[in-house]
Amino acid sequence: MRGKPSEEKQVEMGAAENGTEEDLGGLTAEELRQGQEAALTLEDMMALSAQTLVRAEVDELYQQVRPLGQGRFGRVLLVTHRQKGTALALKQLPKASTTLRGFLYEFCVGLSLGSHSAIVEAYGIGVESADSYSFLTEPVLHGDLIALIQPKVGLPQPAAQRCVAQLASALEHIHSLGLVYRDLKPENVLVCDPACRRVKLTDFGHTRPRGTLLRLAGPPIPYTAPELCGPPPLPEGLPIQPALDAWALGVLLFCLLTGYFPWDQPLAEADPFYEDFVIWQASGQPRDRPRPWFGLTPVADTLLWGLLDPHPRRRSPVSSVRDYLGQPWRQREGEAEEVPQADEGDEGDLA
């Protein structure tokens, strides 16, 4: 029998029978069912995985080769299996900062995504050691996307289009399973080759079922969608939707094309760059672009206006990227309008 999701609350299923979208926090009844089904599936997987964890010290099973990444909550190592010699990536989370449930959740989200060319493949092996929890994935050896984005330049246009197309496909797959990724940023995009032809999305600790009620923790960042910055529609929080990922994809695309953030936070009263964008978008006049948007083409404007619509129900889905591939997103040399030099610190550099 399936357990009841308990990590975060969701809109109550019973409200779906006769409730309006407003009653359901902006979700339709079908969207709510999809999220509930995803949450229950994860609970089943977590219960099973808790019983099948390998209890052993990592060094007994795997030989460490080199670090692949380090974050606030854990690290990723390139390891080889001591008996078979197989190369693997091992994500290790210290017990001091990770609960068993938190570990199982991230582990099972990765497993639930199955096989997708732009998502790091998770292997069904979880290890509990004296001081840590670990799980294994395919190794991706060329670092993350942040290292390739040149400040105030971005990526070459073909590479930017390849990256965004693959990430949109990965997010579309995640959304089809009733989940919302919620953590799209260059640090979570792994690069498979030096030319950045293939990328893979990783790190699913923040992924949640559609409809999970969440509040903004801490100040907003450029990737934070504006609906998370205001009062939530329900007392417990905002029922999350794939539109959150569409917003983050738009911000990431802007970074890939320019090498800096479009704003520091999506609050018109606090950030003049975001205020200028909202006024420009509402005007419907692409040529009256604010300074950070100089150098982009009208095609890029249209794509980004859709992904970055402040109203989540009007926001374009991540799949909209496909309609703009193969078209120019940057002005050719000599075609861009004359722009005064930005003062140091006017736009948020990628660090």
- Residues marked active site are found at 183
- DSSP assigned state of 99: -
Angstrom distance (rounded) from CA 85 to CA 54: 19
Angle, alpha carbons 83-48-169 (nearest 5°): 80
Residues in the chain, how many?
351
Q: In this structure, what are the phi and psi dihedrals at residue 252, rounded to the nearest 5 degrees?
A: -65, -40
Angstrom distance (rounded) from CA 129 to CA 144: 28
Angstrom distance (rounded) from CA 288 to CA 263: 18
Q: Are 201 and 170 in contact (CB under 8 A)?
A: yes
Number of Cβ within a 10 Å radius of residue 251: 23
For tokens 């390998």, the residue is 54
Angstrom distance (rounded) from CA 48 to CA 88: 23
Angstrom distance (rounded) from CA 131 to CA 211: 34
313: Cβ–Cβ under 8 A, 6 or more apart, which residues? Answer: 26, 243
Q: Are 45 and 112 in contact (CB under 8 A)?
A: yes
79 bridge partner residues = 64, 88
Amino acid at 127: V
Angstrom distance (rounded) from CA 276 to CA 294: 13
- DSSP assigned state of 71: -
